[in-house]
């Protein structure tokens, strides 16, 4: 009998009991709005900000309504204006170019390498086109951050990091999100801590963070924040900055705080699952694994592999055969955007020239989620199924049938 997998690739773990209890307490007292506090009370949102800042060693943190909102706020706080060009990854998720479009910016796409990171040579060639880079650590792959920062610093390009897939990750020991002027995180259900929707923004830059706090809808209550610059920094900024409400509420913060405390434990569990899939797929003919550099401390919450230079029909056959055995794979090379996968040439509001090297990588790029509800046996089973189906299609292909 052929083995079938029956787990769900979209099923997350429940909210920890501690988070449910804290959320219940917020609902009992009814003060869900972050600035609705009684004398001496510190809001859950303010505590989350303080704890997240401490966890990555940032001076300031702001909790907001979504990861996308964190990115638009960072772009605005960096002074990006209507018509400005913003460098970003050709291989990322739709909310990234969407954040640039939201502030009236024009994305300039930078290519992806076979290691699934931003192509630093392509970046170097395009640095004179903009003074901001919205860098997406897409699918948790971190480029050589030392080289990237050297290039951007020399060209006076401000870096904003999209860390939706790298919360808990680092490059050479520096937490992801700590090299750029801002680091942006998502707490949406499919990311590393889950509040349904939500986002976090970090920075060491006092003026930039004061602007971000005003933008998020703080009214004149910025002194209720704990991971914020002192009130004096707001002296002018409070008059100059529009309120574009996108706050986080206490209910979400209450759910997130216990998850944040357990983040390192989750990272270990994800990486154990990742290692099982990686081992199971080693030396599969026709399949290329993505090398992970020693300097990269990644979080294996999803897995990617390449079927390099395969025909579209052959890749589609693998996706289809795996799906019939319960293994849901996403393909970034499909002609039409589907589910969560779209690509730079799907975003037609942001015209781009063809990128042949990037197209070649994306054409063979296959992706799967590894939710923590899967155990190690599940991961071994998934790898066996992919290995078998890639093998079947690859052999048929090499026989020319």
Binding site for ligand PLP (CB under 6 A): 66-68, 92-93, 95-96, 136, 138, 162, 164-165, 186, 188, 199
Q: What is the largest CA-CA distance in the chain?
A: 76
Looking at the Cβ atoms of 199 and 300, the one nearer to ligand PLP is 199
Q: In whole angstroms, how close is the CB of 106 to ligand PLP at the nearest point?
A: 19
State how far the Cα of 235 lies from the Cα of 271, in Å rounded to an integer. Answer: 46
Comparing CA positions, the residue from 189, 183, 188 lying closest to residue 201 is 183
Looking at the Cβ atoms of 118 and 210, the one nearer to ligand PLP is 118
Looking at the Cβ atoms of 116 and 318, the one nearer to ligand PLP is 116
Token pair listed for 175 = 């937490």
Looking at the Cβ atoms of 48 and 93, the one nearer to ligand PLP is 93
Q: In whole angstroms, how close is the CB of 284 to ligand PLP at the nearest point?
A: 27
Is residue 401 packed enough to be buried (19+ CB in 10 Å), middle (13-18) or exposed (0-12)? exposed
Looking at the Cβ atoms of 46 and 138, the one nearer to ligand PLP is 138
Closest CB to ligand PLP belongs to which residue?
67
Q: In whole angstroms, how close is the CB of 103 to ligand PLP at the nearest point?
A: 15
Q: In whole angstroms, how close is the CB of 81 to ligand PLP at the nearest point?
A: 22
Residue 159, classed as helix, strand or coil, is strand
Token pair listed for 51 = 């704890």
Q: In whole angstroms, how close is the CB of 370 to ligand PLP at the nearest point?
A: 15
User: Is the CB of residue 76 less than 8 Å from the CB of residue 103?
Assistant: yes
Given the DSSP bridges, would you call strands 106-110 and 85-89 parallel, antiparallel or unpaired?
parallel
Q: In whole angstroms, how close is the CB of 307 to ligand PLP at the nearest point?
A: 22
Q: In whole angstroms, how close is the CB of 198 to ligand PLP at the nearest point?
A: 7
Looking at the Cβ atoms of 186 and 203, the one nearer to ligand PLP is 186
Given the DSSP bridges, would you call strands 132-136 and 158-162 parallel, antiparallel or unpaired?
parallel
Token pair listed for 130 = 């903009």
Looking at the Cβ atoms of 200 and 393, the one nearer to ligand PLP is 200
User: Is the CB of residue 115 less than 8 Å from the CB of residue 141?
Assistant: yes
Instruction: List C-alpha distances in Å: 10 to 13, 190, 273.
Output: 10, 8, 15
User: Is the CB of residue 100 less than 8 Å from the CB of residue 82?
Assistant: no
Residue 16, classed as helix, strand or coil, is coil
HSE at residue 213, side-chain half, CA atoms within 13 A, is: 35
Token pair listed for 47 = 């505590």
Q: In whole angstroms, how close is the CB of 189 to ligand PLP at the nearest point?
A: 9
Token pair listed for 197 = 């929707």
Looking at the Cβ atoms of 206 and 290, the one nearer to ligand PLP is 290
Q: In whole angstroms, how close is the CB of 305 to ligand PLP at the nearest point?
A: 19
Count Cβ neighbours within 10 Å for each residue of 193-222 and write b for 16 or more, e otherwise.
bbbebbbbbbbebbebbbbbbbbbbbeeeb
Tokens 């592999």 belong to residue: 305
Looking at the Cβ atoms of 262 and 367, the one nearer to ligand PLP is 367
Q: In whole angstroms, how close is the CB of 367 to ligand PLP at the nearest point?
A: 11
Looking at the Cβ atoms of 132 and 237, the one nearer to ligand PLP is 132
């Amino acid at each position: 009998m052929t083995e079938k997998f029956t787990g769900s690739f979209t099923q997350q773990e429940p909210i920890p009991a501690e988070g449910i209890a804290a959320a219940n307490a917020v609902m009992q007292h009814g003060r869900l709005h972050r600035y609705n506090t009684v004398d001496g009370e510190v809001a859950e949102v303010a505590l989350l900000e303080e704890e997240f800042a401490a966890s990555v060693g940032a001076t300031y943190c702001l909790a907001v309504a979504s990861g996308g909102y964190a990115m638009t706020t960072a772009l605005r706080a960096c002074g990006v204006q209507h018509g400005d060009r913003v460098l970003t990854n050709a291989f990322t998720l739709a909310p990234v170019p969407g954040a640039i479009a939201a502030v009236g910016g024009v994305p300039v796409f930078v290519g992806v390498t076979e290691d699934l990171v931003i192509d630093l040579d392509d970046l170097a060639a395009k640095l004179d086109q903009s003074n901001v880079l919205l860098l997406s650590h897409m699918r948790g792959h971190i480029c050589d951050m030392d080289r990237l920062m050297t290039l951007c610093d020399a060209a006076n390009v401000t870096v904003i990091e999209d860390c939706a897939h790298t919360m808990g990750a680092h490059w050479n020991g520096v937490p992801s999100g700590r090299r750029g002027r801002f680091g942006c995180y998502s707490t949406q259900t499919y990311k590393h801590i889950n509040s349904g929707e939500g986002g976090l923004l970090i920075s060491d830059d006092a003026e930039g963070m004061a602007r971000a706090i005003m933008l998020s809808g703080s009214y004149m209550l910025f002194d209720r924040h704990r991971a914020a610059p002192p009130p004096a920094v707001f002296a002018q900024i409070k008059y100059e900055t529009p309120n574009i409400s996108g706050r986080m509420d206490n209910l979400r913060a209450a759910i997130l705080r216990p998850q944040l405390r357990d983040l390192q434990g989750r990272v270990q569990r994800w990486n154990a699952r990742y290692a099982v899939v990686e081992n199971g797929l080693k030396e599969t003919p026709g399949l290329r694994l993505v090398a992970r550099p020693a300097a990269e401390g990644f979080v294996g919450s999803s897995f990617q592999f390449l079927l390099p230079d395969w025909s579209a029909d052959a890749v589609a056959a693998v996706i289809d055969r795996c799906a019939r055995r319960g293994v849901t794979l996403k393909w970034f090379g499909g002609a039409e955007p589907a589910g969560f996968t779209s690509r730079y040439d799907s975003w037609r509001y942001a015209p781009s020239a063809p990128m042949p090297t990037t197209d070649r990588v994306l054409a063979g790029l296959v992706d799967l989620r590894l939710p923590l509800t899967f155990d190690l046996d599940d991961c071994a089973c998934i790898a066996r199924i992919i290995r078998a189906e890639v093998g079947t299609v690859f052999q048929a292909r090499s026989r020319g049938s």
